[in-house]
Amino acid sequence: MSHSVIIGLGQTGLSCARFLASKGEHFAIADTRFNPPGLTEFELEFPHIELWLGPLDAGPLCDASQLIVSPGISISEPAIARALDAGVPVIGDVELFIREVSTPIVAITGSNAKSTVTSLVAHMAVKAGIDVGAGGNIGLPVLDLLSEGEKELYVLELSSFQLETTHSLRAKVATILNLSADHLDRYPDMLEYGLAKQRIYTGCETAVINRDDDATQPVHEFKSNLVSFGLNRPEAGQFGLLTWGGGVWLAEGDKALISVDEIALTGRHGQINALSALALGQGAGLPMDAMLAALKDFKGLDHRCQLIQTHNGVRFIDDSKGTNVGATVAALNGLAGEGKIVLIAGGDGKAAVFDELAAPIAKHCRGVVLIGRDANLIADVLSADIPVYKVGSMDEAVHKAVALAQNGDQVLLSPACASWDMFKSYIARGQAFVSAVKGICSAS
């Protein structure tokens, strides 16, 4: 009997199981962990479905009609690789979703800012009165969107891991927002990481690229429409910044659209996110007036360069989602010019090299407070002119940062690392920062 094998339980695996069950399809499920998340829920909901826990066995995988691999599991796992060699199709939940819907898709990837831009484009669609669904890597598995009935537009945040197992995307509009070192514990080098991201452009009608990042341009033969965004003056049909009437404006070509003072997103990183969203929204056919209205009240997402509090002239900013070097560099550059920065960084570096932090830290920082497993690796690349302190907890880090900061400065949590060595997630890390900040501010 033909059957699928879902590899990886958790949120994505459960969504795949429910989808296949709704179709009356036969399947089994495997997970390399002996006690994966969602196990109790799965056993209650699917008591008669075969479940294999522990190291993957290539034999049953090679006998499957297809493997549906969760993004947390590499398709280079030996048992999966053997199944691939045996001709077994390997797909993911995004591929299942794409085969199910005919609605236009906005597809968004990148090393940084993809959740913010995905949420912003979805907000623009809501402003335009469009029934929109947003999901993917942003938190809601794409297959769960199907329970709401087919939408008029889907906006999907897609990770490189999800794109590896997606073969027929053909988005209405697609983008790689930026590319910087990340997930080098999973990819052998930046080339392979970038090629995984490039899959988002396959068959798309319009590709939106970042003029300031050559790695976002399609590397394969590309015959579709190409639109760019960047922080310089744009050419006709492109998006960028325009100095006009004594102010700075988001613009399309020579047409000023909205003053940067009117948009809720702040700093240069906010401006680049707004410009990319305008380019994507235009590619999806969203009306400009609705998109501009959305920019006026979209304040961004939690733990992404989020202003927590101002106390004694010091601004406290939570960028716990800054889980790689590129994100922290963008945060430092985006917040520059508003006083010096005291940076809190460190954690699980995912095999990254931290050299690119040295220049912006030397330029913008008053001091650096380091936590986590790879604190020494970060300290090793920094200039001897920058005060560096290593501490053992978030509370200690915030107290030390407050001691260093002067009136007009900013205390920025932007770790350039994953959180797993000290916290359950980047959200838990951000919450620890916010709690420590509020504790200090209320005590003084």
Residue of 183, 197, 303, 364 marked catalytic: 183
Please confirm, yes or no, whether 48 is among the known catalytic residues.
no
H or E stretch at 207 = strand 206-210
User: Which residues 6+ apart lie within 8 Å of 152 measured at CB?
Assistant: 103, 130, 131, 132
Locate 58 and state its tokens.
């290539």
Positive or negative, the CA dihedral 230, 234, 240, 244 is: positive
Quote the CA–CA distance of 138 and 269 in Å, as a whole number.
Answer: 19
Give the Å distances, CA to CA, from 132 to 120, 147, 156, 276, 297: 12, 13, 11, 18, 18
Q: Reduced to 3 states, what is the DSSP secondary structure of residue 422?
A: coil
> Which amino acid is residue 167, in one-letter code?
H
For the sheet with 90-91, list strands across it.
51-53, 27-31, 4-7, 66-69, 90-91
Please confirm, yes or no, whether 303 is among the known catalytic residues.
no
Helix axis angle for 93-100 and 10-22, nearest 10°, is 40
- Alpha-carbon torsion angle 233, 239, 241, 246, nearest 10: 100
Please confirm, yes or no, whether 400 is among the known catalytic residues.
no
Residue of 114, 123, 269, 303 marked catalytic: 114
H or E stretch at 368 = strand 365-370
Residue of 123, 127, 137, 350 marked catalytic: 137
Locate 296 and state its tokens.
């006026």
Catalytic residue set: 114, 137, 183
